[in-house]
Amino acid sequence: MAHSARRRDCPELPDFSLLKRLARDQLIYLLEQLPGKKDLFIEADLMSPLDRIANVSTLKQHEVDKLYKVEHKPVVSTSDQLCFLIRPRIQTVKWICDVANADKAAGKFRRYKIIFTPQKFYACEAVLEEQGIFGDVTTDEWAFNLLPLDDDIISLELPEFFRDNFLAGDQRWVRTAGSALHLLHSLYGPFSKIYGIGRCSKMAYESWREQVEEGEQRTHQAEIGKVFLIDRDVDFVTPLCSQVVYEGLVDDIFRIKCGCVEFGPEVTSSDKSMKVMLNSQDKVFNEIRNEHFSNVFGFLSQKARNLQTAYDKRRGMDIKQMKTFVSEELKGLKQEHRLLSLHIGASESIMKKKTKQDFQELLKTEHSLLEGFEIRECISFIEEHINRQVSMIESLRLLCLLSITENGLLPKDFRSLKAQYLQSYGVDHLLTFANLRQLGLLVEQQPGETLTVMESKVGKLVNDKTAGKLTDAFSSLAKKSNFRALSRKLNLVPKSDEEYDLRVPRDMAYIFSGAYVPLSCKLIEQVLDRDGWTGLEEVTRLLNGHEFAVSGSTGGDSKTKSDAQRIILVMFLGGCTFSEISALRFLGRERGYKFIVVTTAITNSSRLLEALLDNHA
């Protein structure tokens, strides 16, 4: 492909399959804690992650009889031992209490075991206590908090991290993030340098550091040298943009779940749907995943031609040659053929969907917003979008993008767009709007700068502690995005009059058709280049601070030259998109780094906004 391996000295990635083994063995151990036959109830959103590390036969080997999905309905199981594998959620625990209490009332005796993953919460145990079940149920923790989705992607599979932390302000997952980092540190560290930005990143760092101090120290050859922690709320613009690199597009349209996508009949050109793993093992996918969509067709057709030639070789072969061909090449070719036709099908389907919804025009609006150009036209485009009741999420996405890039909407526009939105999609969305305002995603412009002035005045009078409280008190009011200023400072929007050849990307902007360099990735680039935040003072001020850069005492000079120092772990707290991963892969190729992305979950604009909807009971 056009931009494969720019630098050949990229270091090798560590082997993360270890993490899977670890999680599986821990689970087996926990299952053995409840000897004998048992039925296992699994929380719905744990099924896919579980599938990645174990299979049914693993569970059966450890005397799991029947498997059920947690559905908050009365259980039909006849087993006298019930095991529940759940997230630490109060409503799920309440349901288990109901099950146990119903059994009690019916005079049925069973043994119950709850395995919380990745950890249990006191609030859940409090429910057990309140419902009179504490003691009747044994509880355990399964510290399954790192799932490798690919060679360079590790997910905590905690989509709720985003809402809990950023909207509700609940820090319950901070320690989880710290523990995840701790595990990586003890297996692949010691880290020599940690950079970060964001309140949650700071807290996760602290939690990690405490855990390192609590635990034992090990000295072995580091496989990961540097770490970058970043809060999702540092950059909301990037995940709200339409994705146009292949993997991101596939995620936007078909939704990749835990590294796996389900292609419907329209893609498979049969009457069946097909589940496909999307990772570097898929050779075809691996070559197109980071490509701008406009290149994908060309690539696929070239590939198809090559395949044809390879098949054609068998013409004129003698028997012996044919035999070698069949035994050595045919299987590979068939496999490639299958993958190729899948991705061609997927691309076609993407094209069809995108032309139907005027994708071009949508992209044009997004780019204008990023550029701060023809905002009036953008507003009327969004308005029409709403009027025509085109996708509720899409309209919301555009509204948020407008608000963040413009530092809030003019009061007149805000009122009118909100009113029209509620008319088109339901007044229930009043609650959604309240959430978006709280998060600073969709706000009215504040008259003047009064707030900032007052804040800084008060800030000077008090010490850190109270200032921290103040920030909280103001946070819902004064989360300014400052996107325009940031964009100028960091050169995020390349000049539009220059031609951008998407086949030969010159910077990370290629992931958005050359229109925008993702802020999150740009920060990472800058900090790595400067080995810290020096020279970025204005930028961090615009991002509301919370940046840090710390070195470990073990970071000697001899080590800084080793390969491990060019392996960089980037942890996104609150989710990251496939586009961002593509951008980092590009940056890695340019600079001779290898990035490992650790994220609380893979996100995209729909997931991000759906997490903030409140129009359902």
Q: Which residues inside 197-256 make contact with another protein, applying CB under 8 A?
A: 199, 202-203, 205-207, 209, 212-220
- Residues numbered 443 to 472 that lie near another protein (CB under 8 A) are 455-456, 458-472
Task: Give the interface segment with another protein, choosing from 22-30, 78-86, 312-320, 483-491 (CB under 8 A).
Answer: 22-30
The answer to whether the beta carbons of residues 586 and 244 sit under 8 Å apart is: no
Parallel/antiparallel/unpaired status of strands 153-155 and 147-150: antiparallel
Q: Which amino acid is at 417?
A: L
- Amino acid in position 92: T
CB of 415 to another protein, least distance (A): 6
CB of 62 to another protein, least distance (A): 10
| Segment contacting another protein by CB under 8 A, of 186-194, 341-349, 402-410, 522-530 | 186-194
Do 602 and 577 contact (CB within 8 A), yes or no? yes
Tell me how far apart the alpha carbons of residues 44 and 210 are, in angstroms, rounded to a whole number.
Answer: 33
> What is the bridge-based pairing of β-strands 64-69 and 38-42?
parallel
- Site residues (CB under 8 A) for another protein, limited to 469-488: 469-474
Nearer to another protein, 141 or 563 (CB): 141
Binding segment toward another protein, per CB under 8 A, in 133-141, 242-250, 260-268, 397-405: 133-141
Tokens at 241, concatenated? 């943009």
Q: Which CA distances in Å does 566 have to 122, 170, 183, 192, 255?
A: 40, 34, 20, 11, 32
Distance CA 511, CA 256 (A): 18
Q: Residue 446, exposed/middle/buried by CB under 10 A (0-12, 13-18, 19+)? A: middle
CB 7 within 8 A of CB 592: yes
Q: Is 613 in the site for another protein (CB under 8 A)?
A: no
- Per CB under 8 A, does 123 bind another protein? yes
Considering the complex, state which of residue 332 and residue 411 has its C-beta at the smaller distance from another protein. Answer: 411
**Minimum gap (Å) between residue 89 Cβ and another protein:** 8
How many chain residues interact with another protein (CB under 8 A)?
Answer: 105
Candidate ranges 318-326, 343-351, 417-425, 583-591; the one touching another protein (CB under 8 A): 417-425
Q: Which is nearer to another protein, 2 or 453 (CB)?
A: 453
Residues 490-549 that bind another protein (CB under 8 A): 544-546, 548
Region 426-445 residues binding another protein, contact defined as CB under 8 A? 426-428, 430-431, 434
Pick the binder of another protein from 68, 111, 121, 134 (CB under 8 A). 121
- Residue 214, token pair as written in the block: 């609590």
Residue tagged 């990251």 (tokens): 576
Residue closer to another protein, measured from CB, 346 or 612 = 612
Interface pick for another protein out of 48, 58, 171, 407 (rule CB under 8 A): 171
Contacts of 432 (CB under 8 A, 6+ apart): 396, 612, 613, 614, 615
Of 190, 514, 574, 575, the residue at the interface with another protein (CB under 8 A) is 190
284: burial class by Cβ within 10 Å (0-12, 13-18, 19+)? buried
Q: Does 615 bind another protein (CB under 8 A)?
A: yes
Task: Let me know how many helices (H) and strands (E) the chain has, helices first.
Answer: 28, 14
* Residue 169 in the binding site for another protein (CB under 8 A): yes
Instruction: Tell me the window of 167-175, 268-276, 316-324, 339-347 that interacts with another protein (CB under 8 A).
Output: 167-175
597 binds another protein per the rule CB under 8 A: no
d(C-alpha 285, C-alpha 166), whole Å: 34
Footprint on residues 349-388 left by another protein (CB under 8 A): 358, 383-384, 387-388
Q: Count CB-CB contacts under 10 A for residue 185.
A: 23
**Quick one: which of 501, 496, 518, 528 has its CA closest to 579?**
518
In the complex, the smallest distance separating the C-beta of residue 421 from another protein, rounded to whole angstroms, is 10
CA atoms within 13 A on the CB side of 196: 23
Dihedral sign, Cα of residue 92, residue 94, residue 100, residue 106: negative
Binding segment toward another protein, per CB under 8 A, in 196-204, 249-257, 319-327, 367-375: 196-204
| Cα(451)–Cα(466) distance, integer angstroms | 17
Choice between 59 and 288, CB closer to another protein? 59
Cα separation, 101 vs 98, whole angstroms: 5
Answer whether 246's CB lies under 8 Å from 291's CB: yes
Binding span for another protein by CB under 8 A among 259-267, 335-343, 368-376, 422-430: 422-430
Part in contact with another protein (CB under 8 A); list of ranges 46-54, 412-420, 562-570, 602-610? 412-420
Contact (CB, 8 A) for 581 and 524 = no
Q: Is 412 in the site for another protein (CB under 8 A)?
A: no
Least distance in angstroms from the C-beta of 398 to another protein: 16
Query: Over 76-104, what HEC string results?
Result: CCCCCEEEEEECCCHHHHHHHHHHHHHHH
Minimum distance from CB of 469 to another protein (Å)?
Answer: 4
> What whole-number distance in Å separates Cα of residue 439 and Cα of residue 476?
7
Closest to another protein by CB, 2 vs 462, is 462
Quick check: 326 binds another protein (CB under 8 A)?
A: no
Per CB under 8 A, the list member of 38, 52, 120, 289 interacting with another protein is 120
- The interface with another protein within residues 25-54 (CB under 8 A) comprises 25-26, 28-30, 32-33
CA distance 446 to 457: 18
Which segment (136-144, 315-323, 486-494, 579-587) binds another protein by CB under 8 A?
A: 136-144
